Structure 1
Amino acid sequence: MNYEHPKQLQAVVLDWAGTVVDFGSFAPTQIFVEAFAEFDVQVSIDEARGPMGMGKWDHIRSLCDQPQIAERYRKAFGRAPSDDDVTAIYNRFMPLQIEKIATHSALIPGALETIGALRKDGLKIGSCSGYPKVVMDKVVALAAQNGYAADHVVATDETPNGRPWPAQALANVIALGIDDVAACVKVDDTVPGILEGRRAGMWTVALVCSGNALGLTYEGYQALAADQLANERKRIHAMFEGSRPHYLIDTINELPAVIADINCRLARGEMPQAA
């Protein structure tokens, strides 16, 4: 038996907030701000967006490790934040997140039609998120009300390690019955999500404008002047550079053209690990 590389893609593994729902990825960021505020520690929206894509406990730990935030915590409590303190913030974050997730549950304009087109081309739709299952269940239910259901969903606490580890992406490969990781595309709006896909051996597509990196509503994105948008794209492309995405596009609606290009590359014998 000899190895034969895949000739075309079999599955797309999609992130949720900032990719398929919640243009600008506002649901998690605002709740981080509110959760820290309940401990009398100020965290800005921009600071909260920094580690986006990680599991939420790890996200809070990363925020607490930032010197300026650790100093604010020290002023409030007389000590640097410990893991127990992180857990306390996380335990306040969770009910706030569950309570307010519906506020930012709208599908990204055009996403439903785009995903439908991918399915017509024979692609399976996997998904994963930095949300834990208790939040993900609500996100999935709200998306279903709007017409979207992935073929498989993996929450961050359903695998031993969250992003940037590859476990969630690989759990989709197993559940969807994909025979080669090179036949998969990981689509995400965060650096940890792209690293997840890279480490899983998949093709990777970074979303520049619909998610955390730009951090605007759909209306705000549309209102940007051409030169402003060009500058933002340049900034965000630089932000993603170290994670080495194979493609960078504005929103999921540009994904079908990327899928077609990857299929051509696979047909030529190219593999994501070497690209």
Structure 2
Amino acid sequence: MSKIEGVIMDWAGTAVDFGCFAPVNVFVDIFKNAGIEVTMEEARGPMGMLKIDHIRAMLSMPRVSGLWENKYGRSFDEEDVKRLYAEFEPALMASLSEYTDPIPGVIETVQELRSQGLKIGSTTGYTSSMMEVVISGAKNKGYGPDHVVTPDDTNSYGRPYPYMIYRNMEELKLSASWKVVKVGDTASDIQEGIQAGVWSVGVAVGSSEMGLTEAEYQELSESEKEAAITKTRQTFMQHGADFTIQTMSELPQLIERINGMLAEGKRPGCKG
């Protein structure tokens, strides 16, 4: 039957940690400790990638690379990447348990999808040891997918490679990529979905791409909220998303729409 069989969700910024703040603050701090002042936008740019890849991507940004060369008189090398990551991991682990609250609407949405017989998988830019903290904290607060895959399970080939999605499909017995929806909050999430051949969906509210805490978001006027959502959705579409949703609560209705498209013979990428 041509219907969606499973949803694969990102973690931070999609399912938990509104605004995806746990890693961002640490990225800013470790660069500051190295004498390099990075912006929040630069720290968020590669969000969703395996964290050592994220650091490498930040160091490759023209402005950051220039600051590094000015300070150290040379380009960064792989040893610099490793040193920064060695500082990043313990700093993140120390605070990670504080960032496991499910984003509003996620628990109810997952319950509704499960009631319709869908499987819930997940991928992440966190390592397995990091995810032990996140999974435990989120489970205690009512959220848990059917399966979790980290880059450690795919020989450190994280996003935008599609392998974490494929591992979920194998474990959850999902029969075809076009019967799978991937939901995430970053450009690398969108790219992961595209390269796996699944329906790629970006969620705006609570996303790293929007970059606001829940309190900051709620303090916005209605017109300001609308502008922030529109800007975030446009970014996802520019990176090739099949669809965007405002919040996770809209996902069941979107899946109904996709099922209608599948019945017409349409597939991911058709922009139907």
With the length of structure 1 as denominator, give the TM-score of the two structures. 0.94
* 2:194 maps to amino acid: R
Shift of 1:162: 1.1
Residue in 2 aligned with 1:117?
A: 112
Give every structure 1 segment of 4 or more consecutive aligned residues whose post-TM-superposition deviation is greater than 3 Å.
Answer: none
Residue in 2 aligned with 1:137?
A: 132
Q: Does 1:65 align with 2:60?
A: yes
Residue in 2 aligned with 1:244?
A: 240
Q: What is the rounded CA distance, in whole Å, between the counterparts of 1:148 and 1:237 in structure 2? A: 25
Residue in 2 aligned with 1:3?
A: none
* 2:197 maps to amino acid: G
Shift of 1:182: 0.8
Alignment of 1:1-275 (within 5 A): 6-160=1-155, 161-275=157-271
Once the two structures are overlaid, the 10-residue window that deviates more, 224-233 or 30-39, is: 224-233
Shift of 1:163: 0.7
Q: What is the rounded CA distance, in whole Å, between the counterparts of 1:29 and 1:128 in structure 2? A: 18
Give the secondary-structure state (helix, strand or coil) at the position aligned to 1:210: coil
1:11-32 CA distances to partner (integer Å, 9 max, x unpaired)?
0000000111001110111110
CA RMSD between the two structures: 1.4
Q: What is the rounded CA distance, in whole Å, between the counterparts of 1:23 and 1:179 in structure 2? A: 32
CA contact (8 A) 2:126 2:150 kept: yes
Shift of 1:40: 2.0
Once the two structures are overlaid, the 10-residue window that deviates more, 198-207 or 75-84, is: 75-84
Once the two structures are overlaid, the 10-residue window that deviates more, 193-202 or 74-83, is: 74-83
Q: What is the rounded CA distance, in whole Å, between the counterparts of 2:158 and 2:142 in structure 1? A: 27
Q: Which runs of 5+ in 1 are unaligned?
A: 1-5
Q: What is the rounded CA distance, in whole Å, between the counterparts of 1:44 and 1:231 in structure 2? A: 22
1:86-125 CA distances to partner (integer Å, 9 max, x unpaired)?
1110111000111111122111112111111110010000
Once the two structures are overlaid, the 10-residue window that deviates more, 264-273 or 143-152, is: 264-273
CA contact (8 A) 1:10 1:183 kept: yes
1:214-237 CA distances to partner (integer Å, 9 max, x unpaired)?
111122222211222232233223
CA contact (8 A) 2:8 2:165 kept: yes
CA contact (8 A) 2:16 2:100 kept: yes
CA contact (8 A) 1:19 1:251 kept: no
Q: What is the rounded CA distance, in whole Å, between the counterparts of 2:198 and 2:50 in structure 1? A: 20
Give the secondary-structure state (helix, strand or coil) at the position aligned to 1:175: helix
1:21-79 CA distances to partner (integer Å, 9 max, x unpaired)?
00111011111011212222212222101111111111111100112212222233222
Q: What is the rounded CA distance, in whole Å, between the counterparts of 1:257 and 1:223 in structure 2? A: 28
Q: Between Structure 1 and Structure 2, how many residues are aligned?
A: 270
Shift of 1:180: 0.7
Shift of 1:273: 4.2
Give the secondary-structure state (helix, strand or coil) at the position aligned to 1:272: coil
Q: What is the rounded CA distance, in whole Å, between the counterparts of 1:240 and 1:120 in structure 2? A: 29
1:150-193 CA distances to partner (integer Å, 9 max, x unpaired)?
11101123214211111111111111111111110000001111
Q: What is the rounded CA distance, in whole Å, between the counterparts of 1:234 and 1:22 in structure 2? A: 21
Give the secondary-structure state (helix, strand or coil) at the position aligned to 1:212: coil
Shift of 1:142: 1.0
CA contact (8 A) 2:105 2:247 kept: no
Q: What is the rounded CA distance, in whole Å, between the counterparts of 1:73 and 1:190 in structure 2? A: 26
Give the secondary-structure state (helix, strand or coil) at the position aligned to 2:144: coil
* 2:151 maps to amino acid: T
Q: Which runs of 5+ in 2 are unaligned?
A: none
